[in-house]
Amino acid sequence: MSNYQTQIISTLSQAKYHPVKPKALARVLGISGEAYNDFKTALKELITQGRVEISKGNAVRLLGTRGTLTGIFRKSNSGHGFVRPNPDEGHKFTEVFIPEDAIHGATTGDVVLVRVRPSRKQHERGPKGDIVQVLERSTSQFVGTYFTRDGLFYVRIDGTVFSHSVLVGDPTAKGAKPNDKVVVEMIRFPTAEERGEAVITEVLGAHGRAGVDTLSIIRAMGIPDAFPEDVLEEARQVTAKFTDEIPADREDFTNTLTITIDPVDARDFDDAISLTIDPKSKHWLLAVHIADVGQFAKSGSGLDAEARKRGTSVYLPQRVVPMFPELISNGLASLQQDKVRLVKSALIDLTPMGQKAHIRFANSAIKNQRRFSYEEVSAVLAKADTGEGDAPEVTPEIRAMLLHMRDLATIMHKRRVKRGALELQMPEIGLEYDANGKVSGAHFRKHDISHRIVEEFMLAANEAVAQHLDDKNLFFLRRVHPAPEPTKLQKFAEFARILGYKIKSDADRFAQQRVLQESANKPEMHAIHYALLRSLKQATYSPDKDDHYALASENYCHFTSPIRRYPDLQVHRLLDHLIRRGRASSNLDELRALGEHCSKTERRAETAERELVKLRLLVYMNERIGTDMHAIITGVADYGFFAQAETLPVEGLVHITTLPDDYYYFDDTSHTLVGQRTDRRFRLGDRVEVTVVRVDLSRRQLDFRIKGTNERLPDVRRRR
C-alpha cells in the first residue's frame, strides 16, 4: 500500500473523522499542487479495492467501518494477538485483544484494520476485536523447514505465525533438501481456510547444523549481516589514517588512571571510567570517557548511512552483528587496554553526598590502563574486604580507586532510590557450551556491585548530557519512558495486594518501589517484577520532551554506547558542535523519524536475541524429556499456567487439561486456577514440582506437567 493510501486509511479510521469531499481530505492531509494527482490515484485504487467509498454527498469514508481502528498487530505464542491502535486516532484504550479465530492471516508487525466488538466486558488488556483487513504487511520474507509430502513441496514456517505450512514451487532450483532451513518469499499469504504459497529464495543449511539456528533468526528478523564493500573500504581508509598522535585540540588524559569494566565475553569497549577525590573539597571527580565514533564515521558518509540503517548492533549468543565494521567497532573506536583512543568525556564534580556540583564536557584522548571483567572487579573488592578469595593482581592505586568507585556508586544509588527510581530485576540468561559449541547448560547471570558501579556512572553521564542539551534548548534524541496508564497501575496494585503486598495508592511509585524491594529473593519475585514491567509503557527514542518513568529522571538520553547504538552517535554530534563551536542545531521532524526508526531496530535486536536464546534452550531441554524440576508459576490463564524453573532459565506451560483429579476454572481477579471439587489452587508465584514432557522446536514451545500425574497432554492442532 502506498504512503498516500496509508495516510487516507489512517485518517478515515479516526473516531473524530467526519466524512469530507476528496479536496477537503487532501487539505486535511496537507497535500496540494502536483502531489494532488498522486493523492487522487491512491484514492481511486482504494475505491477499486473496496476499502473506501464516495457517499451520495461526494464525501469520502471507509466501507462498513463503524467502530473500527487501525494499528500494529502483534501475535502471542498462545495463538491470540493484540493490536496497538494508531495514537493519532485518539482511542482511550492502548490495546485491542484479538482472539485466535479473528486474526484472519495477520502476522506480527502488520498494519491492520480492526473492528472493535461492542461489549461491556473487556479483556484485561483492552476490548476485543476482529481484524477486518491487513492494510500493510511488515514483511513478506519468512524462515522455515522444507519438507515433501504426497509429491508436493512445503515449508513449515518457524514459530506460531501461521497455522498451516505453505506450498513452495520448484525447491530444487535452490538445491533444497528435506529438513533444510530455508528462506521464503510469500507470494500468497495463508488464511485460516487456505494454504499460502511461497518461493524459496535461500537455503540456510540442514536443520540442527551448527550456526543454522543463528542464521535463521537473522534472516527471519530481516537483520543485515553483511557490510557493502564500499563501506568496508571506507573503514579501511579511516583505519590507515589513524595514528596514536593526540590532536592539538584534544585534552590529554592518557596519564590519568583509567579502566574499563565489561562482561568477560565483551567484543567492544565503548566506555571507560576514572575517579579521584579532591584533597581540599573532598569532592568526587568522576570522568566517564566514551568512544568518539563520530571522529571516524562522519555525518553523511557511507559508514554513517549504514550505521543509521542498522540502528543498533545485535548481540546474539556466540555472534555479534555490529552496527559498524569491526575495523571500527572492535578496533579504532574500542577502548582497548594500553591503546591511545579518542573519546568524548563527561567530567562530573560531585559533593561528598553524591550531588552534582559542576559538569563539563571535552573532546579528549585516554589510554586504558586495565581491562576488567565484572567478575574480576567483584573478586578484587571481596578480597579487599576479607583478605580471602581469588582475585587478579592489581596495583594499590587501582585497588584504592575500585574501592572509591564502590563507595560513590552506593551513594549515587541511594540518591536514585530516594527520588523514586524503580529497579526491575528481570532474569538475564547465560548459556554454557561444551567443546563442540553445543549448549551444555544455562544459568541466571549475577548482578552485583561491579555492575552497579558501571550502571550508576553511565546513568550519571547520560543525565548530565541530556540536561546540558536541554539547557541549550536543543532538540535531541531523548530516551523517554512515559508514565503508565492508570488502569494498568491499578491492575498491578490489585495483583500485588492479592500476593500480600500493601499499596495504598495505585499510582504511588514509592509503593511500587517498595513492592519490588520486598519481593526480591522471594519465590514470586520474577512474577512481581514482570507484572510491573507489563504495566509500564515501552521506552523509546524521541525528541519530544518527556520523563523517564522508571529512572524518575526529567532529562535522559543515551550517550554512553555510540559503537552499538545510533541514537548515542546523534547525541555525540550535537555535543561535539557545542564543544567546538559553542552552538548547535537539529531538525525536529528528522529526529522524530530517526527516533521511530531506532526504536524499531532496537526492538528487532532484542527480539532476535531473545528468540535465539529460547531456541537453544529448547534444543537443550529436548534432550531432557522426563526431567523433574522445581518451578515458580509466572503466569496464569484460562488454558493453564506458565512456570519458570528455579535452577534453569526455562519457562514451560502446564495445560489446564493435565492438572490432576479435578476440573479447574480460572479466577482472573486473583490470577489463580481453582479446582471445583478439591479447591486446590495454582496461583501466580506458587512453587510447584514439574516434569518436562514435550518440546516443540518449530513452534518454540515447552510443555510441563505436574510431577506424578499421568494425564495425557491435550491434543493440539498440528500444522499440516
Whether 536 shows a pLDDT value over 70: the answer reads: yes
pLDDT tens digits for range 168-186: 988 788 899 999 999 999 9
Query: Lowest-confidence range among 455-469, 558-572, 625-639?
Result: 625-639
If you search the block for the grid coordinates 497535500, which residue do you land on?
31
For residue 116, is pLDDT > 90? no
The helix or strand, by DSSP H or E, that contains position 357, with its residue range, turns out to be strand 356-367
**pLDDT at residue 711 greater than cutoff 50:** no
Q: Residue 372's beta-bridge partner residues?
A: 261
Beta pairing partners, 635: 642
How much is the pLDDT for 648? 86
Confidence category of residue 10, pLDDT binned at 50, 70, 90: confident
Q: Dmax of the chain from CA atoms?
A: 88
364, 252 Cβ separation under 8 angstroms: yes
C-alpha cell at 445: 547471570
Which stretches of 420-508 are DSSP H helices? 449-471, 486-498
Return the pLDDT at 152.
92
pLDDT per position as a tens digit, 362-380: 999 999 999 999 999 999 9
**CA atoms of 674 and 438, how far apart (whole Å):** 41
Report pLDDT for 669: 76
Instruction: Name the phi and psi angles at 370, rounded to 5.
Output: -155, 125
Between 26-35, 348-357, 417-426, 472-481, the lowest mean confidence (pLDDT) is in: 26-35
Name the residue type at position 167: L
Decide if pLDDT at 718 tops 60: no
pLDDT digits (tens, 9 = 90+) for 285-343: 999 999 999 999 999 999 999 999 999 999 999 999 999 999 999 999 999 999 999 99
Is the Cβ–Cβ distance between 528 and 635 less than 8 Å?
no
Residues 134-161 have pLDDT tens digits of 888 888 999 999 999 988 999 999 987 7
pLDDT for the residue numbered 716: 39
Phi-psi region of 126 (alpha: psi -120 to 50; beta: other; left: phi over 0): left
Q: What is the CATH number of domain 624-706?
A: 2.40.50.140
Backbone phi, then psi, for 60, in 5-degree steps?
-95, 130
- pTM of the entire predicted model: 0.85
Q: Which three cell numbers stand for residue 665?
A: 476454572
Q: Provide the pLDDT for residue 91.
A: 67
d(CA 281, CA 350): 10
Considering the four listed CATH numbers 1.10.10.10, 3.90.800.10, 3.40.1190.10, 3.20.20.210, the one that applies to the domain covering 3-100 is 1.10.10.10
Residue 4 banded pLDDT, cuts 50, 70, 90: confident
Mean pLDDT, the chain, whole residue set: 90
**Structure-block grid coordinates of residue 173:** 532450483
The 10 Å CB-count burial string (b at 16+, else e) for 505-518 is: ebeebebbbebbee
Write down the domain spans for the chain.
3-100, 141-220, 229-396+422-431+442-479+550-607, 624-706
Q: Distance between CA 414 and CA 251 in Å, rounded? A: 33
Tell me the torsion sign for CA atoms 332, 335, 339, 342: positive
Q: Using CA atoms, how far apart are residues 202 and 196, in angstroms rounded to an integer?
A: 18
Answer with the residue of higher pLDDT: 7 or 131: 131
Confidence of residue 457 (pLDDT cuts 50, 70, 90): very high
Report the SS3 class of residue 99.
coil
pLDDT reading at 715 higher than 80: no
Q: Which range in 42-46, 85-89, 463-467, 492-496 is most confidently predicted, on average pLDDT?
A: 463-467
Task: For residue 546, give the amino acid letter.
Answer: D
| Distance (Å, whole) CA 440 – CA 553 | 41
179: left (phi over 0), alpha (psi -120 to 50) or beta: left
Asked if 141-220 and 624-706 have one fold, the answer is: yes
Residue 268 has pLDDT above 80, yes or no: yes
- DSSP 8-class letter at 211: T
* Contact status, residue 270 vs residue 301, Cβ threshold 8 Å: no
Cell of 504: 495504598
How sure is the predictor about 273, in pLDDT bands with cuts at 50, 70 and 90? very high
CA distance to 432, 619, 621, 628, 629, per residue, from 624 (Å): 16, 9, 5, 9, 11
In this model, does residue 572 exceed pLDDT 50? Answer: yes
> What angle do the packed helices 302-310 and 566-581 form, to 10 degrees?
130
Mutual orientation of helices 588-622 and 566-581 as an angle, nearest 10°? 140
Q: What is the CATH number of domain 141-220?
A: 2.40.50.640
Query: Left if phi > 0, otherwise alpha if psi is -120 to 50, otherwise beta: which for 426?
Result: beta
pLDDT score for 90: 61
CA dihedral 487, 13, 11, 39 (to 10 degrees): 150
